């Protein structure tokens, strides 16, 4: 079975917000380190674990310029076979454009299913998986924390994390599946595998070659820092005083 | 704008996040000179419709059929898209929750419409409107503008107020397009019943972090929660450790909550967790590390061993 797994390089989640905003606005700033989106690494790990049920071709897809190849390589080195890279040519693409680019790759590769992280930790949007599934006319299963294939690999039973507990769905393949935290714990790429990953076949496209509308549906107009929580933290010395303060504030 | 609010259900009841979606629709209708309707999708909805039809909506569409008994993304998406196209809506709004996160981008894609997720405010933008939302674990706010004729939005329930009451609208049955489809089948729902308030809307929440050291201590946390009439929430570390199921998780990848009291016990206050409690009125932190970031956002704090403090709180409250 062939599986496509999406990987997005994102700013390190520990980047100070002001520096992140400056980088988003294209201002020269101190180093903002990038990492592969953690949820995408869960997707890569899942693909590797599914070798037991017949996955034999793991293809990473990433929409990124050459400057963030290290993050894509680290994902390949976990155990993927190859990668397809789409160069955004310096443009900030929005979710619909990204889904359209992925659709192009899916139509070329015809995988058994697509695995993605449930959201990117920079824009926190969790949109692309559902848009892609809709564009392809495929079933979708988002926020998945359990996967179990049927005997002939035509359907997969998934557990989805919802506000109301784990929802179990039986999904026909091909499908788009987005991965949640509890699905697995991603392995680290070893140094020998990182070196080996440099030989993994890469196929490259430019976004402008794919025939996707260049005008975004959604644009970013600006950034702000959220208002901090006002006031100092009132420190109390023991449980008695804490209960007194809570009573005074009419909270208990 | 001609707005459609997609109401959501939770275990056979109306979901609290619907209130924020209706309020946002009221505000957007007022700002853009429009009106709003509501749609409810499910099976056996007669008793629920009244609970939604008191906010001045022009119409309450009811899509009621056996195939909508359980939420499934494909059929629910087709139903909403069919209604939007039949009635010519220019905005589709839902409250931010796991169901809307699943289905709204699919709806947006099907309508060829731009979407903003988890919107907290409407912003004036050169004769039109733009939307503000939290990004980067809630550490930054971003203003986004949609350029398609239809706007698709989910609304952050912790950032938007209660809806204003108003007259009931006409109740209309809508026959949704599509039929039975076996591509996705509902199997079952596994859920831990606690008898405690719903975490998403509880007035008081006791939050447990890695500092509680083991799942065993959750019993004591539960006793404190019951004394306070509180829900239990947790950090991602507690969920990752398998001490609590995912639906207890508060933060960037879990729920955003806005209780009157959030009692953070053994929680360091990583940004990913703080992202989910920004809306809390009062944050009280118990942590033995005086440098823990939680004290930077807490209103009341105590630097102490939680294993000493929590039993005393149970005794004294």
Give the residue-averaged pLDDT of A30-37.
90
Residue B239 above 80 pLDDT?
yes
A81: distance to nearest CA of chain B, Å?
29
Name the residue among B73, B135, B261 with its Cβ closest to that of A124.
Answer: B135
What pLDDT is recorded for position A214? 87
Count Cα atoms within 13 angstroms, Cβ side, for B88: 3
CATH architecture group of domain B204-316? 3-Layer(aba) Sandwich (3.40)
With 0-12 / 13-18 / 19 or more C-beta atoms within 10 angstroms meaning exposed / middle / buried, residue B245 is middle
Given pLDDT bands bounded at 50, 70 and 90, which one contains residue A231?
confident
Name the residue among A132, A169, A233 with its Cβ closest to that of B298.
Answer: A233
For helices A128-136 and B73-87, what crossing angle results, to 10°?
80
Choose among B42, B22, B26: nearest CA to B34. Answer: B26
CB contact under 8 A, B146 and A157: no
DSSP state of A250: T
Residue B6 above 90 pLDDT?
yes
Count of CB atoms situated within 10 Å of the CB of B205: 28
Select the residue from A10, A179, A213, A233 to test the B interface by mutation, using most B Cβ atoms within 10 A.
A233
Look at chain B and count its residues: 317
Q: What is the mean pLDDT of chain A?
A: 95
Look at chain A and count its residues: 252
21-60 of B, contacting A, C-beta below 8 A: none
| Continuous H helices in chain B | 18-32, 46-52, 73-87, 98-111, 218-228, 236-240, 271-274, 294-297, 306-316
Buried-state track B277-297, b at ≥16 Cβ within 10 A, e below 16? bbbbebbbbbbeeeebbbbeb
Q: pTM of whole model > 0.80?
A: yes
B282: distance to nearest CA of chain A, Å?
9
For helices A239-248 and B306-316, what crossing angle results, to 10°?
50
> Which of 3.30.1490.20, 3.30.9.10, 3.40.50.620, 3.40.50.11440 would CATH assign to domain A2-248?
3.40.50.620
Name the residue among B115, B300, B317 with its Cβ closest to that of A234.
Answer: B300
For helices B98-111 and B73-87, what crossing angle results, to 10°?
50
| pLDDT over 90, % of chain A | 89
Name the residue among A122, A143, A249 with its Cβ closest to that of B98.
Answer: A143
**What residue of B is the nearest CA neighbor of A249?**
B282
| pLDDT digits 0-9 by tens, A69-84 | 999 999 999 999 999 9
Q: Is A227 on the interface with B (CB under 8 A)?
A: no
Q: Taking CB atoms and an 8 Å cutoff, what residues of chain A touch B135?
A: 122-125
CB contact under 8 A, A140 and B106: yes
**What residue of B is the nearest CA neighbor of A94?**
B114
Contact indicator for A65, A87 with CB cutoff of 8 Å: yes
Given pLDDT bands bounded at 50, 70 and 90, which one contains residue A187?
very high
A199: distance to nearest CA of chain B, Å?
34
B192: distance to nearest CA of chain A, Å?
7
Residue B305 above 90 pLDDT?
yes
Q: Taking CB atoms and an 8 Å cutoff, what residues of chain A touch B116?
A: 218
Asked, as a colleague might, if the bond just before B310 is cis with ω within 30 of 0, I would say no
- Strand locations in chain A (E): 2-6, 9-11, 34-36, 57-63, 82-87, 113-117, 140-149, 155-162, 165-172, 176-179, 202-206, 218-224, 234-236
What pLDDT is recorded for position B49? 86
Given pLDDT bands bounded at 50, 70 and 90, which one contains residue B10?
confident
* Domain B2-173 CATH superfamily: HUPs (3.40.50.620)
Residue ranges of chain B assigned to CATH 3.40.50.620:
2-173
Residue B234 above 90 pLDDT?
yes
Report the distance separating Cα B90 and Cα A221, nearest Å. Answer: 21
Residue A29 above 90 pLDDT?
no
Angle at A143 between CA B190 and CA A141, to 5 degrees: 90
Contact indicator for A45, A80 with CB cutoff of 8 Å: no
What pLDDT is recorded for position B127? 81
What pLDDT is recorded for position A7? 98
Q: Is A252 on the interface with B (CB under 8 A)?
A: yes
Residue ranges of chain B assigned to CATH 3.40.50.1220:
204-316
Query: Residue A179, Cα to own-chain centre: how many angstroms?
Result: 8
Give the residue-averaged pLDDT of A40-56.
97
Given pLDDT bands bounded at 50, 70 and 90, which one contains residue B214?
very high
Given pLDDT bands bounded at 50, 70 and 90, which one contains residue B253?
confident
Given pLDDT bands bounded at 50, 70 and 90, which one contains residue B93?
very high
Q: Is B271 on the interface with A (CB under 8 A)?
A: yes
Given pLDDT bands bounded at 50, 70 and 90, which one contains residue B308?
very high
Count of CB atoms situated within 10 Å of the CB of A25: 11
Report the distance separating Cα B257 and Cα B249, nearest Å. Answer: 10
What pLDDT is recorded for position A64? 95
Residue B125 above 90 pLDDT?
no
Contact indicator for B5, B107 with CB cutoff of 8 Å: no
Count Cα atoms within 13 angstroms, Cβ side, for B223: 12
């Amino acid at each position: 079975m062939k599986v496509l797994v999406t990987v997005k390089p994102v700013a390190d989640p520990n980047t100070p917000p002001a520096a992140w905003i400056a980088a988003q606005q294209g201002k020269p700033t101190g180093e903002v380190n990038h990492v592969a989106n953690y949820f995408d690494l869960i997707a890569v790990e899942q693909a590797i674990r599914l070798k037991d049920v017949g996955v034999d071709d793991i293809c990473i897809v990433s929409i990124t310029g050459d400057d963030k190849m290290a993050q894509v390589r680290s994902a390949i080195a976990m155990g993927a076979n190859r990668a397809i890279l789409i160069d955004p040519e310096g443009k900030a693409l929005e979710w619909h454009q990204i889904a359209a680019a992925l659709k192009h790759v899916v139509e070329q590769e015809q995988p058994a299913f697509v695995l993605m992280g449930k959201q990117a930790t920079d824009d926190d949007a969790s949109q692309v998986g559902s848009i892609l599934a809709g564009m392809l006319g495929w079933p979708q299963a988002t926020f998945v924390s359990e996967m179990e294939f049927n005997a002939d690999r035509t359907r997969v039973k998934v557990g989805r994390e919802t506000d109301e507990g784990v929802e179990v769905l039986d999904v026909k393949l091909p499908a788009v599946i987005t991965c949640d935290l509890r699905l697995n714990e991603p392995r680290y790429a070893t140094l020998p595998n990182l070196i080996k990953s440099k030989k993994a076949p890469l196929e490259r496209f430019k976004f402008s070659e794919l025939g996707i509308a260049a005008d975004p549906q959604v644009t970013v107009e600006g950034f702000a820092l959220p208002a901090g929580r006002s006031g100092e933290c009132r420190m109390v010395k023991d449980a008695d005083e804490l209960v007194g303060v809570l009573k005074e504030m009419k909270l208990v | 704008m001609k707005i459609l609010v997609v109401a959501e259900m939770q275990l056979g009841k109306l979901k609290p996040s619907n209130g924020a979606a209706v309020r946002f629709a009221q505000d957007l209708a007022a700002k853009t000179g429009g009106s709003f309707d509501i749609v409810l999708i499910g099976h056996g909805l007669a008793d629920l419709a009244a609970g939604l039809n008191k906010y001045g909506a022009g119409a309450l569409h009811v899509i009621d059929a056996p195939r909508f008994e359980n939420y499934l993304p494909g059929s629910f998406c087709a139903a909403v898209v069919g209604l939007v196209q039949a009635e010519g809506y220019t905005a589709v709004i839902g409250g931010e929750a796991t169901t809307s996160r699943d289905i709204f981008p699919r709806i947006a894609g099907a309508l060829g419409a731009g979407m903003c997720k988890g919107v907290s405010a409407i912003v004036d933008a050169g004769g039109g409107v733009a939307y503000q939302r939290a990004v980067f674990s809630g550490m930054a706010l971003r203003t986004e503008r949609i350029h398609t004729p239809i706007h698709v939005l989910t609304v952050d329930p912790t950032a938007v107020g209660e809806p204003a009451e108003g007259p009931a609208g006409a109740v209309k049955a809508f026959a949704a397009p599509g039929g039975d489809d076996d591509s996705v089948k509902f199997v079952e729902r596994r859920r831990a019943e606690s008898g405690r308030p719903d975490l998403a809307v509880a007035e008081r929440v006791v939050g447990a972090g890695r500092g509680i050291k083991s799942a065993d201590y959750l019993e004591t946390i539960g006793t404190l929660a019951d004394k306070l009439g509180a829900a239990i929430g947790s950090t991602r570390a507690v969920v990752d450790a398998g001490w609590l199921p995912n639906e207890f998780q508060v933060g960037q990848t879990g729920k955003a909550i806005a209780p009157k009291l959030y009692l953070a016990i053994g929680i360091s206050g990583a940004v990913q967790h703080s992202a989910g409690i920004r809306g809390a009125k009062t944050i009280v932190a118990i942590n033995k590390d005086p440098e823990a970031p939680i004290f930077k956002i807490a209103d009341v704090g105590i630097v102490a061993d939680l294993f000493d403090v929590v039993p005393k709180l149970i005794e004294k409250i």
